[in-house]
Structure 1
Amino acid sequence: MVADKALQREILLAFWKVHILHHAAEGPVVGHWLLRELRRHGYEVSPGTLYPILHRMEALGWLRCEVEAGRGSRAPRHYHATEAGKAVLALIREQLRELMVEVQ
Protein backbone atom coordinates (compact mmCIF):
# COMPACT_ATOMS: atom_id res chain seq x y z
CA MET A 1 0.00 0.00 0.00
CA VAL A 2 2.87 2.39 0.77
CA ALA A 3 4.29 1.83 -2.72
CA ASP A 4 0.87 2.64 -4.19
CA LYS A 5 0.80 5.95 -2.30
CA ALA A 6 4.32 6.83 -3.44
CA LEU A 7 3.49 6.02 -7.06
CA GLN A 8 0.26 8.00 -6.88
CA ARG A 9 2.16 10.98 -5.46
CA GLU A 10 4.75 10.88 -8.26
CA ILE A 11 2.03 10.80 -10.91
CA LEU A 12 0.13 13.64 -9.23
CA LEU A 13 3.30 15.75 -9.12
CA ALA A 14 3.64 15.28 -12.88
CA PHE A 15 0.00 16.29 -13.43
CA TRP A 16 0.49 19.39 -11.29
CA LYS A 17 3.53 20.40 -13.33
CA VAL A 18 1.52 20.07 -16.55
CA HIS A 19 -1.24 22.25 -15.08
CA ILE A 20 1.30 24.84 -13.98
CA LEU A 21 2.99 24.95 -17.39
CA HIS A 22 -0.37 25.17 -19.16
CA HIS A 23 -1.56 28.14 -17.13
CA ALA A 24 1.83 29.89 -17.10
CA ALA A 25 1.94 29.58 -20.90
CA GLU A 26 -1.43 31.35 -21.13
CA GLY A 27 -0.24 34.26 -18.98
CA PRO A 28 1.41 35.11 -15.68
CA VAL A 29 0.19 33.19 -12.64
CA VAL A 30 0.80 33.57 -8.91
CA GLY A 31 1.13 30.80 -6.35
CA HIS A 32 -2.07 31.41 -4.41
CA TRP A 33 -4.09 31.36 -7.66
CA LEU A 34 -2.40 28.10 -8.69
CA LEU A 35 -3.27 26.56 -5.31
CA ARG A 36 -6.95 27.42 -5.81
CA GLU A 37 -6.89 26.19 -9.41
CA LEU A 38 -5.30 22.85 -8.54
CA ARG A 39 -7.72 22.38 -5.64
CA ARG A 40 -10.62 23.19 -7.97
CA HIS A 41 -9.52 20.18 -10.01
CA GLY A 42 -9.66 18.02 -6.88
CA TYR A 43 -5.95 17.92 -6.09
CA GLU A 44 -4.97 18.15 -2.43
CA VAL A 45 -1.92 20.38 -2.72
CA SER A 46 -0.41 22.55 0.00
CA PRO A 47 1.78 25.65 -0.27
CA GLY A 48 4.62 23.53 1.16
CA THR A 49 4.35 21.31 -1.90
CA LEU A 50 3.50 23.88 -4.58
CA TYR A 51 6.23 26.45 -3.96
CA PRO A 52 9.13 23.96 -4.14
CA ILE A 53 7.64 22.69 -7.42
CA LEU A 54 7.57 26.26 -8.78
CA HIS A 55 11.17 26.84 -7.66
CA ARG A 56 12.29 23.56 -9.26
CA MET A 57 10.53 24.42 -12.53
CA GLU A 58 12.21 27.82 -12.45
CA ALA A 59 15.61 26.18 -11.85
CA LEU A 60 14.96 23.89 -14.83
CA GLY A 61 14.35 26.98 -16.96
CA TRP A 62 10.67 26.18 -17.59
CA LEU A 63 9.35 29.15 -15.62
CA ARG A 64 10.51 32.72 -15.17
CA CYS A 65 9.57 34.57 -11.99
CA GLU A 66 8.96 38.31 -11.73
CA VAL A 67 8.46 40.03 -8.38
CA GLU A 68 6.40 43.21 -8.15
CA ALA A 69 8.77 46.09 -7.37
CA GLY A 70 8.18 48.22 -4.31
CA ARG A 71 6.04 45.65 -2.51
CA GLY A 72 8.67 44.29 -0.12
CA SER A 73 9.52 40.68 0.65
CA ARG A 74 5.84 39.63 0.55
CA ALA A 75 5.35 40.86 -3.01
CA PRO A 76 3.48 38.45 -5.29
CA ARG A 77 5.70 36.42 -7.59
CA HIS A 78 4.37 36.17 -11.13
CA TYR A 79 5.38 33.02 -12.98
CA HIS A 80 5.59 32.94 -16.78
CA ALA A 81 6.37 29.94 -18.99
CA THR A 82 9.68 30.38 -20.79
CA GLU A 83 10.24 29.26 -24.37
CA ALA A 84 11.81 26.09 -22.93
CA GLY A 85 8.74 25.58 -20.73
CA LYS A 86 6.43 26.04 -23.71
CA ALA A 87 8.47 23.50 -25.67
CA VAL A 88 8.18 21.01 -22.80
CA LEU A 89 4.43 21.64 -22.66
CA ALA A 90 4.08 21.03 -26.41
CA LEU A 91 5.98 17.74 -26.08
CA ILE A 92 3.83 16.67 -23.11
CA ARG A 93 0.63 17.49 -25.00
CA GLU A 94 1.74 15.35 -27.94
CA GLN A 95 2.72 12.48 -25.67
CA LEU A 96 -0.61 12.72 -23.83
CA ARG A 97 -2.51 12.57 -27.14
CA GLU A 98 -0.63 9.42 -28.11
CA LEU A 99 -1.15 7.90 -24.67
CA MET A 100 -4.89 8.58 -24.70
CA VAL A 101 -5.26 6.84 -28.07
CA GLU A 102 -3.41 3.84 -26.72
CA VAL A 103 -5.15 3.46 -23.35
CA GLN A 104 -8.72 4.05 -24.51
Structure 2
Amino acid sequence: MVASNAIYSGLIRLHILHHASKEPIFGLGIIEELGRHGYRLSAGTLYPLLHGLEREGYLRSFEKRKGRHARRLYKVTSKGRQALREAKSRVRELFAELFEDE
Protein backbone atom coordinates (compact mmCIF):
# COMPACT_ATOMS: atom_id res chain seq x y z
CA MET A 1 0.00 0.00 0.00
CA VAL A 2 1.29 3.44 -0.95
CA ALA A 3 0.85 6.28 1.53
CA SER A 4 -1.34 9.16 0.39
CA ASN A 5 -0.22 12.75 -0.09
CA ALA A 6 -1.95 13.52 3.22
CA ILE A 7 0.82 11.63 5.03
CA TYR A 8 3.43 13.77 3.29
CA SER A 9 1.60 17.10 3.28
CA GLY A 10 3.97 18.70 5.79
CA LEU A 11 6.99 17.60 3.79
CA ILE A 12 5.39 18.90 0.61
CA ARG A 13 4.83 22.29 2.28
CA LEU A 14 8.49 22.36 3.37
CA HIS A 15 9.58 21.45 -0.15
CA ILE A 16 7.48 24.32 -1.50
CA LEU A 17 9.02 26.75 1.01
CA HIS A 18 12.49 25.48 0.13
CA HIS A 19 12.04 26.16 -3.58
CA ALA A 20 10.25 29.48 -2.98
CA SER A 21 13.24 30.56 -0.87
CA LYS A 22 15.57 29.94 -3.84
CA GLU A 23 13.49 31.70 -6.51
CA PRO A 24 9.86 32.59 -7.25
CA ILE A 25 7.79 29.49 -8.03
CA PHE A 26 4.55 28.94 -9.94
CA GLY A 27 1.92 26.22 -9.69
CA LEU A 28 2.69 24.05 -12.70
CA GLY A 29 6.44 24.35 -12.11
CA ILE A 30 6.16 23.10 -8.52
CA ILE A 31 3.76 20.31 -9.59
CA GLU A 32 6.44 19.15 -12.03
CA GLU A 33 9.19 19.51 -9.42
CA LEU A 34 7.26 17.46 -6.88
CA GLY A 35 6.50 14.92 -9.62
CA ARG A 36 10.25 14.37 -10.05
CA HIS A 37 10.26 13.24 -6.43
CA GLY A 38 7.34 10.88 -6.92
CA TYR A 39 4.54 13.12 -5.63
CA ARG A 40 1.49 13.30 -7.89
CA LEU A 41 -0.35 16.48 -7.02
CA SER A 42 -3.19 17.97 -9.00
CA ALA A 43 -3.79 21.68 -9.31
CA GLY A 44 -6.81 21.13 -7.05
CA THR A 45 -4.47 19.91 -4.32
CA LEU A 46 -1.53 22.24 -4.86
CA TYR A 47 -3.27 25.61 -5.14
CA PRO A 48 -5.06 25.31 -1.80
CA LEU A 49 -1.63 24.52 -0.25
CA LEU A 50 -0.10 27.61 -1.87
CA HIS A 51 -3.05 29.78 -0.86
CA GLY A 52 -2.89 28.46 2.70
CA LEU A 53 0.84 29.15 2.95
CA GLU A 54 0.19 32.65 1.66
CA ARG A 55 -2.73 33.21 4.07
CA GLU A 56 -0.49 32.11 6.95
CA GLY A 57 2.21 34.59 5.87
CA TYR A 58 4.83 32.10 4.67
CA LEU A 59 4.51 32.99 0.98
CA ARG A 60 3.68 36.15 -0.92
CA SER A 61 2.28 36.04 -4.43
CA PHE A 62 2.50 38.49 -7.28
CA GLU A 63 1.53 38.52 -10.91
CA LYS A 64 4.14 38.60 -13.65
CA ARG A 65 3.00 39.48 -17.15
CA LYS A 66 4.69 38.34 -20.34
CA GLY A 67 2.85 39.81 -23.28
CA ARG A 68 -0.79 38.84 -22.97
CA HIS A 69 -0.06 36.03 -20.53
CA ALA A 70 0.12 36.45 -16.78
CA ARG A 71 1.48 34.01 -14.25
CA ARG A 72 1.05 34.09 -10.46
CA LEU A 73 4.41 33.61 -8.75
CA TYR A 74 5.05 32.81 -5.11
CA LYS A 75 8.05 33.88 -3.08
CA VAL A 76 8.94 33.03 0.51
CA THR A 77 8.51 35.76 3.13
CA SER A 78 10.81 36.41 6.09
CA LYS A 79 8.32 34.46 8.23
CA GLY A 80 8.55 31.59 5.74
CA ARG A 81 12.37 31.64 5.84
CA GLN A 82 12.34 31.50 9.63
CA ALA A 83 9.82 28.65 9.62
CA LEU A 84 11.94 26.76 7.08
CA ARG A 85 15.09 27.18 9.22
CA GLU A 86 13.27 25.88 12.31
CA ALA A 87 11.67 23.03 10.38
CA LYS A 88 15.03 21.87 8.98
CA SER A 89 16.36 21.48 12.51
CA ARG A 90 13.29 19.56 13.69
CA VAL A 91 13.12 17.38 10.57
CA ARG A 92 16.81 16.51 10.95
CA GLU A 93 16.18 15.36 14.53
CA LEU A 94 13.04 13.36 13.65
CA PHE A 95 14.59 11.71 10.61
CA ALA A 96 17.66 10.77 12.61
CA GLU A 97 15.37 8.86 14.97
CA LEU A 98 13.45 7.27 12.10
CA PHE A 99 16.64 5.88 10.59
CA GLU A 100 18.67 5.12 13.71
CA ASP A 101 18.08 1.35 13.39
CA GLU A 102 19.15 1.16 9.75
- TM (norm. structure 1) is 0.84
Instruction: Give the Cα–Cα distance (whole angstroms) in 1 for the partners of residues 67 and 54 of structure 2.
Output: 21
How far off is 1:55 after superposition? 0.4
Partner residue of 2:97 out of 95, 98, 102: 102
User: In the alignment, is the contact (CA less than 8 A) between 2:5 and 2:39 conserved in 1?
Assistant: no
Give me the CA root mean square deviation.
2.1
The AA in structure 1 aligned to 2:71 is: P
Greater helix proportion: 1
Instruction: Give the Cα–Cα distance (whole angstroms) in 1 for the partners of residues 8 and 57 of structure 2.
Output: 21
How far off is 1:21 after superposition? 0.3
- Structure 2 partner of 1:68: 64
Unmatched tracts of structure 2, length 5 or more: none
How far off is 1:71 after superposition? 5.9
- Runs of 4 or more consecutive aligned structure 1 residues displaced over 4 Å after TM superposition: 69-72
CA deviations on 1:79-103 (whole Å, 9 max, x unpaired) are 0000000111111100011112222
- TM (norm. structure 2) is 0.86
Instruction: Give the Cα–Cα distance (whole angstroms) in 1 for the partners of residues 70 and 22 of structure 2.
Output: 22
Unmatched tracts of structure 1, length 5 or more: none
User: In the alignment, is the contact (CA less than 8 A) between 2:63 and 2:73 conserved in 1?
Assistant: yes
CA deviations on 1:39-90 (whole Å, 9 max, x unpaired) are 1110010000001110000000000001025766x62111000000011111
> In the comparison of the two structures, how many residue pairs are matched?
99
